[in-house]
Amino acid sequence: EIYLPAFEAAVREANAWSIMACYNKVNGFHGCENKDLLRKRLMKEWGFHGFVVSDWFATKNPTNTEGCLGAGLTLEMPIPIKYRRRRIKRAIKEGFVSEETFNDNVKRLLRVMFLVGMFDDGSKLPQGCRNTPEHQALAREIAEEGIVLLKNKHHLLPLDITTLKTIAVLGPDANKKHSFGGGSSCVRALYEITPLQGLKDKCRG
């Protein structure tokens, strides 16, 4: 398996509270109504107790209310399409989905809402912090461990900075910050080192 191990580790080792269901089909079923992927593997085999949220408008494809409820989709985003009140009531009334299954979906969402303090007095909740030195160190560690070297012709890397005289850094983005994609991938980092600055730091100027 290529894709599942990362999600399994997030659930089993990091105790993830939520998982997002995909747009595409897996073994013939869309992610939001994939009972084998969500209810069987994620919840039963991996012991996931959090909630499953749809990717944005992922339920617009040919899914149905009972399929999504039965699979374990908890939260439909950004607006209810399949999870409108009448559709849910009809699915339960006509026996397509049991009340037990529906209640399990509701409990999963409420559980996380309680865990994050949504029903608590906001003035008594601890204040968070961001962009601390610890956060910066962790971000750097994650970036370093996520690097994949695809080719190393003539064993050029790693560079021996004791023998180097000059390094050519080419391209318009070599010293540009805030490199990001569009839509939901847009991230304006509070702490970022450009490739040029990283090389200067490593080579001591």
Parse the chain into domains and list their residue ranges: 4-115, 151-202
Mean pLDDT over each residue of the chain, to the nearest integer = 88
SS3 201: helix
Give yes or no: 121 in active site.
no
Residue of 55, 121, 173, 201 marked active site:
55
Residue 52 has pLDDT above 70, yes or no: yes
| The model scores a pTM over 0.75 | no
Other Cβ atoms less than 10 A from the Cβ of 163: the count is 6
Side-chain half-sphere of 129: how many Cα atoms within 13 Å? 6
**CA distances, 115 to each of 13, 64, 112, 191 (Å):** 18, 30, 5, 29
d(CA 31, CA 26): 7
d(CA 40, CA 131): 38
Q: Determine the straight-line distance between the first and last CA of the chain, rounded to whole angstroms.
A: 44
Digit-coded pLDDT (tens) for 175-204: 887 756 667 777 777 778 888 998 898 887
Digit-coded pLDDT (tens) for 98-132: 999 999 999 999 999 999 888 888 777 778 888 89
Cβ atoms of 68 and 33 closer than 8 Å: yes
**DSSP letter assigned to residue 106:** H
d(CA 52, CA 35): 12
Strand order in the sheet with 51-54: 18-21, 51-54, 73-75
Instruction: Give the pLDDT score at 157.
Output: 87
